Structures are given as structure tokens and as C-alpha cells.
Structure 1
Amino acid sequence: MDQIAAMRAFVRVVEAGTFSRAADLLDMPKPTVTKHIQQLEAHLRTKLLNRSTRRVAVTPDGAAYYERAVALLSDLDELDGSMTRSQASPAGRLRVDVPSSLALYALIPALPDFFARYPDIQLDLGVTDRPVDLLAENVDCAIRGGERLDPTLIARRIGALPLMHYASPAYIARHGLPEHPRDLAQGHRVIGYFSARTGRPMAFDMVRGEESYELRLPHVLATNDSTAYLAAGLAGLGITQTIDAMVGPYLETGALVRVLPEWQAGPIVLHVVYAPNRHLSSRLRVFVDWVAELFGSGGAYRPAGPALHLPVRAPG
């Protein structure tokens, strides 16, 4: 039973005085109105209306139910109307947590478009690779990479970011270009990345068609921050494995060079996550929809604007 539809039908019958008139006002067949009333009475286990050939009369229980139903439906209509109005121009403060690389190279360059659409939203952007406790830290939503998500959170997939491999010209001048993943274990250096939550080092994945390698290589430097990771690559400390969105400007200037271009890793699957008991306000809904549009829901990230440049100079 659609209880809201049944309540609306009951209220309209009481106010119209007949089933036929109520059906006309509701723009539905009379048998459908009759079915709604029968289902509502069966659900409540009480008789709401006394029917005659010409009119209907409200029972005492029906009269009491009518008063409460009118008030409830009025509140529901007011709520729907307020949400529609706020959806047209959502406003207020929104706290979002984003990994540093996505913030610097994808989200922040695209924010002028977001604020042009929603000028009344105040965005508080937490930028960290450390997983935050959404409830304890009063965060409305967060963008997370990877498939291992907290099962207590609601997650919406928004895109996928392929990983490629890069090194600086200074590094290549000293160590040469690897021709195969096996070469990385012979005289090459990689920059390590470890989880900010567990401290566990990430594997250096290499995939080409049906071939794949999961390498656990020694490193001279490892970090738990993606921006620091990129800075280490620019400084010539080793080969990095990162997303195209971060390195595009450095490829154009020659500060980084793609290595092993036929091999890639990932992709990193992106989700927006929020707590199930978090009120999904209009400003949160429009932000989640906008982020899904930015990253192309279900697809790969397409750069939305100019990336920021790190003030890092390679040695040489």
C-alpha cells in the first residue's frame, strides 16, 4: 500500500463528500480511490467512512484520523516545497575532505565552475591523505580512492584514475630508462608510498594487457602524502607511479618524462562517501552531483582546468 497516496485519497473523499467527486479531483479512476480507502482501513484496522448510495459519512475514528492526516500532509507538502526552493539556490556551510593530490590538481582548479553555479555555498575543504572520521570531525563527505572502503559509510562511485610511471630527466641521466618492469630491480630507484592509516607500503603495480607484476622494491624515500610524493619525483629521487592529472603540466615543460609507457597500474577508483545518518542537505546533494560530473561518473577523470604548479626545481 502507498500510505501517502491512500491518505490523500481519504482526505479528498472526506472533503468532496463522494467517491466520484474525489476521483475527479484526484484525476484517478473511482475504483482506485475505493481501493486506497479499503487498504487504509485494513491497515488501520478500523472503519473510517460509512458509505451510502449518494454520500459518505465520516466515523468518529475517521474524523480523528482526518484531522491528523490533514496536518501531516500539509507538513509534507511544506517540506517538499522548501526542499525544491533550497535546491534551486542551496546555501550554507559544507565541510569536505579530499586527498591532497585531487584537491590541488583536480578539484581546486574546477571550483570556479562550482561557485558560479552555487554562489551561496561556503566550502570548508580539508586537504589530507589521512583518512578522517566523518562523524567525529564533523565532515559532511569525503572523496576516497580505492575499493577498500569503510562498510559503515554510504559510497557513490564517481570515476577512476589510471596510474602511469614518471621520472625526471635528471634521474634518467643518472640511471637510464627502464625497458621492462624487471629492470626496476636492477640499478633503479622507486619512490615509495605508504598508507597514512596503517603505515603499510603500497605495491608498485605494472600491468600490460594480460601481463602483470606486483613489485615490492626497496626505496631510498617513502612518503604518505601524494603532493610530497610528486615533489620527490620532480627532485629526481626515483620513479613515481601517479595519476596523469598531477603530472600534465610537468610533462609539457619537460620536468617529468613518462617511463614504461605501455605499462600502467590501477586505476584508482574514486568514491564520495558520507555517513548514513548524515542529513543529505541540498548543498551536499549538489556537491556530490557536481563531483560526479567533474570526474565522469563511472569513467576516467577528464581535466577540468589548469593544474597548480609545485615550486620544486629538479637538481642539475
Structure 2
Amino acid sequence: MAYLDNIQVFVRVVELGNLSSAGRALRISPAVASNRVKELEKHLGARLLNRTTRQLTPTEQGRVFYEGAKKILEAVSEAEAAVAAVSGKPRGTIHVTAPLGLGKRLIASGIPDFHARYPEIEVRLRLSDRDVDIMRESIDVAFRLGVLEDSSLRMRGIMDCERVLAASPAYLARRGEPKHPEELVTDNHDCLLLRFPGAREYFWMLKTEDGPRKFEVRGPFDTDDGDVITSWALAGHGIINKPRFEVEPYLRNGSLKIVLPENPPMPVKLAAVYPHRNLQDPKLRLLVDFMSERCQRIIGEILDGKR
């Protein structure tokens, strides 16, 4: 088992580029990760990594071994899943990611209940509004609001979620209420944008009389945290484009007001996204089933005013 652990560490180091990140992913110290890579190199009689002060990159031998090592780990994972399916006792670790708002409201709070039901399944949750690279970072399943663009992944739709444009009464009293989407691309209004380094040009897709249309909205500042955007809107700094379930309590108590109700944003799909190899993993199916039911129920309760 130690040899397999060494292989796993090496694969994570190659994927993440340094010992610290690999150690955090595997919950071991950088020193332990370094020792395991050295043990692997000693066993193989070859140097697998080029070491610099900032990054580790695979040597030619390392690249060759990495491709084979990934197949070994995938085969072991599939074998364990097959045994779990036969025994009826799923076990192992699931690495999960979700956006901050969605993750905090719907996913994180359900993990203890899921573990109580399936105590031999461990869940490692990572919340980020960044577009996490599932394959590179060895994520088993990502819960996302959006469309699937990577054909190497599979998607299971959970539900369509209504989106709204909203702003605080104070902002609308100060800047006026927009009457047409074109006003969002001028200096008349400030749009609060969710954006992160490397993101594509930003736009909002809104319904119009002529069908869905892109509007290249503008605003004085942006962030990569969806909850920060909501807090800015509540403080009167601009207009937000959010899933309705995230802001429904504020709409209900009057802290926010829907703007351009005749030109709402296009709905977004809430879905579970995962690599094709995980399709038959029993523990993954259990988690996706559990979270799908939970998300549908809680979002329904929020929109019905029961939460």
C-alpha cells in the first residue's frame, strides 16, 4: 500500500505543480510528500521531477511514468467501486467542489447528514467561485450553475434555476430604475460582476422581444466571490444578476427589488458534473442522488417562503 501511496503523491505533485499543494490535497505535510516522491524515485532508479525553487515539473521519465500511474490509480478506483457495488457497502473518499453561495447554502450543510447515512464514505469539499479544472485537480464531482462546455465530462441535470436582476431601493432611488436593458451597457447604471483572473469577456444573457441577447454590462468593480456581490447590492452599490433562490429572502423583506422584470436573465441549470470514469462509481451515485433531492427540496422551500 505504501507504494501505491507514493504513486498517488507523485501524480498529485505533477498535476498541482508543487509539494505544498499536493500535500494539502492529500492531507499530508510537504515533507512527507517529498519523502514519498523520493522513495518512488529510488525504487524506479530514475529522477521523476525537475526541482526549482517555485515549481516541480516532470522529467522525460516522469512524464512517461505519470501517464501509466494515472491508469493504475483509475484501475484501483474502479476495482474498489466494483467491490463496493457487490458488497452493498460503499466506501472511500469523494472530492467535491461547488460555488461559494451554492456550496454554503445547499451542499456543505448536507454533508454531515450524508456521512451519517453512509459512514464509510468520506467527503472532501472545496468551495470556490472560480472555474475549477475537474480533471487537473482530481475532483470527483462538481455541483455547478451553468452549461457544460467540456465534452470529456458528463453532466446530470438537477433542476433549472430562475435568475433575476436586482438592486436595493436606495440604489434605485439614487440612480433611477432602468427601463430597458440597453441602459446596463451605459454609464447610467453600475452592474456588479462576478469575474476572476482569466475569465472571458463578461456579458449578461437577457430575454428580449427578439429572443435571448447578450449585453456587455459594465460596472466600477468586480469580484470572484458571489456573496460579496450580494453584499455590495444590499449596500446600494449596483445591480446584480443572481439565481433567485440566493436572493429570495432579500426580495421578500424588501432589501432588494427586481429590476427589468420583462427582461430577466436566462435560467441557469443546476447540475452535477463529473469525469466519465466516475459514471459507475456507487458512492458517487449515492452522493449525487442525495444532493439532488436535497437541492430540489431546499430551493423549493426557499422560493415558497418556508426558509
Q: TM-score, normalised by structure 1?
A: 0.60
User: Which residue pairs with 2:264 in the alignment?
Assistant: 264
8 Å Cα contact 2:110/2:291 also seen in 1:
no
**2:299 aligned to which of 294, 299, 303:** 303
User: Which residue pairs with 2:30 in the alignment?
Assistant: none
What's the CA shift for 1:128? 0.5
Whether 1:192 aligns to 2:188 is: no
Structure 1 vs Structure 2: percent identity of aligned residues? Answer: 30
8 Å Cα contact 2:245/2:299 also seen in 1:
yes
Counterpart amino acid of 1:102? Answer: L
What's the CA shift for 1:126? 0.6
Counterpart amino acid of 1:192? Answer: L
213-222 or 179-188: bigger deviation: 179-188
Root mean square deviation of aligned Cα: 3.0
User: Which residue pairs with 1:218 in the alignment?
Assistant: 218
Aligned length: 222
What's the CA shift for 1:264? 1.3
What's the CA shift for 1:221? 1.2
CA distance in 1, matches of 2:121, 2:287: 10
CA distance in 1, matches of 2:257, 2:121: 40
In structure 1, the gaps of 5 or more residues are 1-78, 308-316
- Alignment CA distance shift 1:115-1:264 (3 Å): farther
User: Which residue pairs with 2:133 in the alignment?
Assistant: 133
Whether 1:104 aligns to 2:98 is: no
CA distance in 2, matches of 1:216, 1:201: 8
CA distance in 1, matches of 2:95, 2:83: 25
Whether 1:94 aligns to 2:114 is: no
In structure 2, the gaps of 5 or more residues are 1-80
253-262 or 210-219: bigger deviation: 210-219
Q: What are the within-5 Å matches in structure 2 for residues 159-198 of structure 1?
A: 159-184=159-184, 185=186, 187-194=188-195, 196=196, 198=198
8 Å Cα contact 2:278/2:284 also seen in 1:
no
- Alignment CA distance shift 1:142-1:256 (3 Å): same
8 Å Cα contact 1:232/1:238 also seen in 2:
yes
Counterpart amino acid of 1:187? Answer: N
**2:85 aligned to which of 83, 86, 103:** 83
8 Å Cα contact 1:190/1:217 also seen in 2:
yes
Q: What are the within-5 Å matches in structure 2 for residues 278-297 of structure 1?
A: 278=278, 280-296=280-296
CA distance in 1, matches of 2:232, 2:104: 16
Counterpart amino acid of 2:246? Answer: M
- Alignment CA distance shift 1:252-1:182 (3 Å): same
User: Which residue pairs with 2:51 in the alignment?
Assistant: none
- Alignment CA distance shift 1:186-1:80 (3 Å): closer
User: Which residue pairs with 1:253 in the alignment?
Assistant: 253
Q: Deviations over 1:119-148 (max 9, x none)?
A: 443321110122223344232111233224
8 Å Cα contact 2:96/2:125 also seen in 1:
yes
CA distance in 2, matches of 1:255, 1:100: 21
- Flag the structure with larger Rg: 1
What's the CA shift for 1:212? 4.3
CA distance in 1, matches of 2:131, 2:119: 29
CA distance in 2, matches of 1:206, 1:279: 34
CA distance in 1, matches of 2:302, 2:86: 34
Q: Deviations over 1:48-84 (max 9, x none)?
A: xxxxxxxxxxxxxxxxxxxxxxxxxxxxxxx978525
What's the CA shift for 1:167? 0.4
